[in-house]
A and B are shown apart, each in its own frame.
Chain A
Amino acid sequence: MQWVDAVVQGVLLGGLYAQYAIGMALMFGVMRIVNIAHGDFIILLGLIGISIATAWGLGSAGLILLLVPLGALIGWLLQHSVLNKVIGTDPIPSLIATFGLSIALQNFMLQIWSADTRSLSGGTLSVASVSLGPIHAGVLPVIVLACAVLLTGGLDLVLRYTAFGRGLRASAADHNAATLSGVNTKEVYALATAIAVGILGMAAVFQAMRTTIAPPDGGAQLIYAFEAVIIGGMGSIWGAFTGSMILGVAQVVGFRIDPGWGILLGHIVFLIVLAARPQGLMSRG
C-alpha cells in the first residue's frame, strides 16, 4: 500500500513540476529557445510573493493574480530585450546570454533576500487533506495538480486552435515565411515567453506554499523542468505534463527507498529514457 501511496504523492508532486515544465516546453520545444534562467524566475517570483504577503498580508489567490501578470511582463521584456536579438541564428548565444542572466539573478536575489530559505503560509489549506480509502492526499497538492491539468489543457488548445498558436508554430517552423504571411514574429515570440514566465507566477506561489525556496534553488527547478520536457517528448505540451508525472513519481519512490536517493532516481529515470527512447515517451517519432 505504501507504494500506491508513493505513486499518488509522486503524481501530486508532478503537478508542481508540470507548472514549471509546460512553459519550458513552449519555449524549448516549440520555439527552440533555451532560457537557463527559467528556474531563477520561479524563485524570484516566489521571493517577491513572500515579501508582498508579509508586507500587505495578501492571500495566496491574490498573490497569484499579482505574480502572473508580473511574470508575463518579465517574460515579454526578456524576449524583446535579450532573446529576440539572438533568435534565428544558432541557439548557443541565447543559452550563454541566459546563463549570464541566471548568475546575475541568483546573486541579485542573494543580495536582497539573503540565503535563508523561506516559505508562504497556506493557512488551513496547507494541513487540510482528503482521503480515499487508505490513501490520503493534501488538499493543496490536489489543487496544484488540478491547476496544472487546466494550464496544460488550456495551453495545448491555445497552440492548436488560436491565431496566436498558429502564428507561433508558423514562426518556429519558418521565420521568414511566417513574416511573409503577415506574422509579427518578434511579438508572437514575446507573447509566448510572457505566457511561459507568467505561468511561473502561479508555480512560484504553489512552490512556496508546498515547500521552501531560497535564491540558489533555481538550477534544480530548471533541471526538473528540462527532464520533464525530454522524458515526455519535445514540442508536446501534454508530453511535458506526462514527463512531470513520471519525474514526480520517480523522485517520491526514490525518496521512500532512501531519502538520499529521491532526486537521484529522478535523474536516473531521465537518463534511462534518454538511452531507451531519446525522442521522448509521447512523441510519435
Chain B
Amino acid sequence: MARRFILLFAALLAVLVGPVWAPAWADDTMPPAPYAYRQLDDPALEAKAEALMETLRCLVCQSQSIADSDAPIAGDMRNQVRLRIAHGEDPEAIRGWLVQRYGDYVTYAPRITTLTWPLFAAPLLLLGLAALLLRKRFSRVGQS
C-alpha cells in the first residue's frame, strides 16, 4: 500500500515538475533540443543570447561556458536561453532563473552577496594599496 502511494506521489511530482525540469534532465539518447545547435534567426537576439551563454557555466564540464561545450546539458541550457530570449525575456532575468535552479555555481558573473563581497572589495583594496605604494615611493624622493 505504502509503495503504491509512493509511486503515485512520484508520478504526480513528475507530472507537476516534469515540464519545468525536463530540459535539465533530458536523456542523453534523446535528440538534442531544437535550439542547442541552431541559432535564432534574428541576429540581434542571437547576439544577446550569445553574450549571456558565454557567462553561464556548463555544470558538468571542466571550466567551460555553455557556449563552449558539447555536453548534452549545455545544449539543453543553450536551447532554454535562446527560447527565452526569443520570447523577449531579459538576459539578467534568465540568469536569475538559472541561478535559482542551479545555484550561484551556474553563473560566471558572481553576484555581490554576503559570501562574495570580498571578491569586489579586493580590487578596491588593490587600488588603494597600489596608490599607497606609489605615493610612498615617490614622496620619499621628494624629501631627498
Do A and B bind? Answer: no
B residues touching A (Cβ–Cβ < 8 Å)? none
